[in-house]
Amino acid sequence: MTEEEKREQLRQLAGKVSACHLCKTIYSSPGYRKGDQKGDHLCHAPSADPSVINHWNTWVRNYNPDILIVGQDFGRLDSPITNFDSPTDRRIKKFLGPYLNRCFFTNAACCYRQRNNSGPVNESWLTLCVSQFFREELEILDPKIIIVLGEAAFRSLACCWNSLLALPQDPMPDTSFRSLVDNTALVELRLLDRSEQVEKTYPVYPVYHPSTTRNRDDDLQNHDWQRILSRLNKPT
């Protein structure tokens, strides 16, 4: 597909996302009551660019990406992170280096938080969006690899419509998230056709979410990213 054809298909997909209201009554806090500031929910906000599904799409806008970066959720749309200078964005820039311009950025949850910029996530936000919209977005962009930020976003890919998230075939006694990251394990997202045969396969690499170094220090995170990037041709 040409870039213009991809933008048109993304525009149509963004329209479907905008018309979805499944998460409006799904709150981050199970004990949410009206007026409880600890509860949060998601709503969509149309972009000035109708081909934008989520504001993170606007960062690099490579419509023929080598790398699709999948985050968890964007946070609140009116927050300072819209300038792509959050701790997450700064670490990603450092880890990717010259590969940054070979990426397209998206999130498992397409919509925006209405109260808080971060905090507890209801995993239904991610699984509902992934099941409804992710396969179509993936097929439009058709990257070489997928890098997924954090365990919640990674696990949500298992809900991608008519697909299979396949763990490594080699004997691997520990398939915990940490072990998959430590071993730069090749996980595959296999898209199935109507007869449930594999139609297309995408390599998926989970990493710890770069918003924090609490679970994995900065040097180790950088090492994880460099091992993944080494599997691509070097930027010219």
pLDDT tens figures, 176-195? 899 999 988 779 999 999 99
The answer to whether residue 212 sits within a structural domain is: yes
Cα–Cα dist 135/25, whole Å: 24
User: Could you tell me the pLDDT band of residue 218, with boundaries at 50, 70 and 90?
Assistant: very high
**Which of 89, 206, 214 lies closest to 152, judged by CA?**
206
Radius of gyration of the chain from its Cα atoms, rounded to whole angstroms? 17
Amino acid at 14: A
The answer to whether residue 197 sits within a structural domain is: yes
The answer to whether residue 90 sits within a structural domain is: yes
Looking at residue 52, which CATH number applies to its domain? 3.40.470.10
Average pLDDT in the chain: 85
161: DSSP letter: T
Domain span at residue 178? Answer: 3-229
The answer to whether residue 158 sits within a structural domain is: yes
The answer to whether residue 17 sits within a structural domain is: yes
pLDDT tens figures, 6-39? 999 999 999 998 888 777 666 655 544 555 555 6
Q: Which structure tokens are listed for 88? A: 């997450």
Q: Which structure tokens are listed for 174? A: 């520990």
In order of 103, 192, 199, the CA distances from 139 in angstroms are 15, 12, 11
Domain count for the chain: 1
N- to C-terminal Cα separation, the chain = 23
Q: What is the pLDDT of residue 144?
A: 96
Contact 110, 44 (CB under 8 A): yes
**Which of 10, 118, 127 lies closest to 63, judged by CA?**
10
The answer to whether residue 236 sits within a structural domain is: no
Cα–Cα dist 89/163, whole Å: 29
- pTM comes to 0.88
In order of 5, 81, 157, 162, the CA distances from 132 in angstroms are 21, 26, 11, 11
The answer to whether residue 152 sits within a structural domain is: yes
pLDDT tens figures, 109-149? 888 877 666 666 777 778 888 999 999 999 999 999 999 99
Residue with tokens 């969509």: 44
Cα–Cα dist 229/220, whole Å: 14
